[in-house]
Amino acid sequence: MEKSMSKVPKLDEKSKSSKNFVLKHIIKDVADFKEGNWIKCEREQHFNAKWFLQIMRNESHLGIHVFCEPIVPNKDEWSIETKLEFKMIVNDDNSVIKTFKCCFDDDEGWGYDNFVKWVDINNYLVDNKLTIEVKVEIRKMAGFGKEILMKFDESVADLSDIVLIVNDRKFYLSKYFLSLQSSHFKTLFSGKFNESQKNKLELKDIDPDDFQNFLELIHGESSNDDDTVEGVLHLSEMFHAPTAIRRCEEFLLEKSKKKSEKKFKLALRYGLENLKTKCLSEITTISDIQSIVSSDPKEMDVQTAMILLQKCLSFSNK
C-alpha cells in the first residue's frame, strides 16, 4: 500500500497516523444479554462518514462488527481503507486484542462473528459490565472530499517554483511562501539538502485531500470544518506550521460541534493549551471526567492529570 519515498527529510514517527478514532460501547448488564440478542450502537461522525458498532451474541460466541456509512460522497463509488483494532481489556492479564486491515466500500460491516467464547466472558467483566473498543485507523479514502476553495494545479504552474506530489496528485506551489509558513519546508528548501535544488518532490504518508485543506488554510481560506480540522492539525504539526495550528485551535474553540471529549483529546495530542483550558473549565461532574479521560494514559501530561485529580477530590467532598 505504501509507495516509495524520495529523499525528503524524515518527519516525526508520531506524525504518520493522522486519521484515527475509537468506537466504544459498554454493555451494562451482561447477564441480560441473551443468545440471539444484538446491539446496534449509536452512530458517530468521523471524517465525512458515520460509523457504528454492532454487537451480537450468536450461539456460543460474542460477535463484533464495524459499519461505515458515507455522508454524501463525491462519487457513486467510494472506499475507505482501514486498520481495525478490536479489544476488550480488563488488565494486563485479561485482554483480547485482534487487528486486521480491510476496505469499506458498501453497506457490509467488517469484524468477527466469533470474537471470544461466551463461556469466557466473565473474565472480561468489571461490575458486570463489558467494555468493547475498536480503534479505527484510516489509511486511504476515495470518492470523498469537499468544495475546492483554491487551486494548486497546472493552472497556477507559471506562478510556482516547486511541485509537490502527494499520491500522484501534483500541487504547484511557492518555496518562498511555504518557507514562511512552515519551518519544515524552510529547512527543506534552505540549501542544506539536495532537494533544495529540485523543482519536483514526492511526499509520502500524506492524504492529498488533507494537504489541499492545509494549503488552503495557510493561503488564507477558511477551509476548516469538523470533518477536515483533524487532518489539517496533523499536517500543521508535521510541517511545524504555527499559524495553521493557531487557526485550527480557533476553529475548535469557536465553531466546532465536536464533543468535549474529542476536543480534549485533540488538545492533548497537539498541545492546544487554550482549548485544553476551556475543556477543563467545562468539567462539572465526575461523569464529565469519565467521558474525557483517554483510554491511553500516555496521552495525558502530569499537570493535566493533577487538575483532573483535584476536580475528582473536590466533587467527592461535596
From 3.20.190.10, 2.60.210.10, 3.90.550.10, 3.40.228.10, which CATH number describes the 20-142 domain?
2.60.210.10
Contact 173, 215 (CB under 8 A): yes
Tell me what pLDDT residue 318 has.
64
* Overall average pLDDT of the 117-125 stretch: 87
Q: What percent of the chain has pLDDT over 70?
A: 87
What are the tens digits of pLDDT across the range 277-292? 998 888 888 777 777 7
Q: What is the mean pLDDT of the chain?
A: 84
Fold of 154-278: Potassium Channel Kv1.1; Chain A (3.30.710)
Contact 67, 54 (CB under 8 A): yes
Domain boundaries defined on the chain: 20-142, 154-278, 283-317
What are the tens digits of pLDDT across the range 157-185? 999 999 999 988 999 999 999 999 999 99
Tell me what pLDDT residue 175 has.
94
5 versus 270: the higher-pLDDT residue is 270
Give the span between the Cα atoms of 188 and 205, in whole angstroms.
17
Lowest mean pLDDT among 120-134, 156-170, 257-271, 289-303: 289-303
Tell me what pLDDT residue 6 has.
35
Contact 226, 256 (CB under 8 A): yes
Q: Are β-strands 61-70 and 110-117 bridged in parallel, bridged antiparallel, or unpaired?
A: antiparallel
> In which residue are the cell numbers 499559524 written?
243
